[in-house]
Amino acid sequence: MAPAGRPGAKKGILERLESGEVVIGDGSFLITLEKRGYVKAGLWTPEAVIEHPDAVRQLHMEFLRAGSNVMQTFTFSASEDNMESKWEDVNAAACDLAREVAGKGDALVAGGICQTSIYKYQKDEARIKKLFRQQLEVFAWKNVDFLIAEHVEEAVWAVEVLKESDRPVAVTMCIGPEGDMHDITPGECAVRLVKAGASIVGVNCRFGPDTSLKTMELMKEGLEWAGLKAHLMVQPLGFHAPDCGKEGFVDLPEYPFGLESRVATRWDIQKYAREAYNLGVRYIGGCCGFEPYHIRAIAEELAPERGFLPPASEKHGSWGSGLDMHTKPWIRARARREYWENLLPASGRPFCPSLSKPDF
């Protein structure tokens, strides 16, 4: 199968999902740009879209090449209550960058709605909805293709605001199989969001691929039980975190500056993509820790179903086949699927444990 872009005109997100297409999301911005030097851990704000647009554009380009069909605006934490003054400029610039790169391939632009910092202290529906509406105004002006509300505990309010726009609304929650802080189960959560008007529901961030798929299974069951239909979406961490607690990886002692040894391999991600697909999820991407090659791994795993490889596969031999000319025979012997599927990678850290106890 030759690497090739998807031909033809762009279809909308719902049109794609309704026709059974697999939509590949994008990956990590905050954590990846932190490592590249453009985001400050702790603040996690996206002012790089203005200060260092080349760096943000480059990362969008890498995800596009890797096969992403969605360029999510890099607008995390960019709302009036999280950033001081320039949040509107940041959001507008983020939309422009996403649109510019999306235009170079088969990708849509998704406006990323972020949580409000005030909800934690004050359940003031009017004030919070106003914050969402402010964000929506910029996205509408910049004409994004659809909206994703993520990390939003106050999600029902968000959906109610977002559907005022005529764009499709996706919501991904940061919950694990055990449910959220208020003991709302994944199934209940999905039901409430679909009833509020979300077209696409799922999870993102906080939990690793395996755990996130368990949550998706529960969301799917909840919707079926309630007789509701919605498209399913999953964008987990690119980290293995089976030992994190109910609130996810932030409570692990390694967060955020010692997560290296938890990073998934491309083979882990191929397995994840296959399992997500088998579960019926059709919008499959990643969140923190998902590097461009992880996204490419999704695209390569699902290439048989989709019929094409992403552009970046010109630089990747499937299942390690690029090693088949190595001068050392034992390295040539690694150029095969069984090798990488069965590898149990060592950490090189014999003085470290394999699991941690979360701090909370």
Residues 6+ apart with CB under 8 A from 315: none
Residue with smaller CB distance to its own copies, 120 or 195: 120
Q: Is 100 in the site for its own copies (CB under 8 A)?
A: no
Q: State how far the Cα of 175 lies from the Cα of 191, in Å rounded to an integer.
A: 14
Options 243, 245, 274, 318; binder of its own copies; rule CB under 8 A: 243
- Closest distance to its own copies from the beta carbon of 74 (Å): 14
Q: State how far the Cα of 186 lies from the Cα of 172, in Å rounded to an integer.
A: 11
Q: Draw the binding track, 293-332, toward its own copies (x: CB under 8 A; -: no contact).
A: x--x--------------xx-xxxx--xxxxxxxxx-xx-
Q: State how far the Cα of 240 lies from the Cα of 213, in Å rounded to an integer.
A: 13
Judged by CB under 8 A, the chain residues 43 through 72 that form the site for its own copies are 43, 54-55, 58, 61-62, 65-66
Eight-class DSSP state of 11:
P
Residue with smaller CB distance to its own copies, 232 or 297: 297
Q: CA torsion sign, 50 to 51 to 57 to 59?
A: negative
Options 253, 278, 304, 338; binder of its own copies; rule CB under 8 A: 253
Q: Is 264 in the site for its own copies (CB under 8 A)?
A: yes
Cα distances from 160 to residues 36, 133, 148, 360, in angstroms, run 37, 10, 13, 33
Judged by CB under 8 A, the chain residues 211 through 240 that form the site for its own copies are 239-240
| Per-residue b or e along 285-302, where b marks 16 or more CB atoms closer than 10 Å to that residue's CB | bbbbbbbbbbbbbbbbbb
Residue with smaller CB distance to its own copies, 40 or 127: 40
Q: Draw the binding track, 105-124, toward its own copies (x: CB under 8 A; -: no contact).
A: ---------------x----
Options 98, 171, 218, 259; binder of its own copies; rule CB under 8 A: 259
Q: Draw the binding track, 23-42, toward its own copies (x: CB under 8 A; -: no contact).
A: -----------xxxxxxxxx
Judged by CB under 8 A, the chain residues 184 through 213 that form the site for its own copies are 208
Residue with smaller CB distance to its own copies, 20 or 253: 253
Pick the closest to residue 288 from 321, 264, 313, 319 (CA basis). Answer: 264
Instruction: Mark the segment that binds its own copies (CB under 8 A) among 80-88, 91-99, 274-282, 348-356.
Output: 348-356
CA-based R_g, the chain, Å:
20
Give the interface size with its own copies as a residue count (CB under 8 A). Answer: 83
User: C-alpha angle with apex 333: 330 to 339, nearest 5 degrees?
Assistant: 120
Options 258, 280, 307, 337; binder of its own copies; rule CB under 8 A: 258
HSE-up of residue 347 (Cα within 13 Å, Cβ side): 13
Q: State how far the Cα of 329 lies from the Cα of 137, in Å rounded to an integer.
A: 60
Amino acid identity of 169?
Answer: V
Judged by CB under 8 A, the chain residues 126 through 145 that form the site for its own copies are none
Cα distances from 55 to residues 39, 49, 62, in angstroms, run 11, 8, 11
- Closest distance to its own copies from the beta carbon of 30 (Å): 11
Q: Is 257 in the site for its own copies (CB under 8 A)?
A: yes
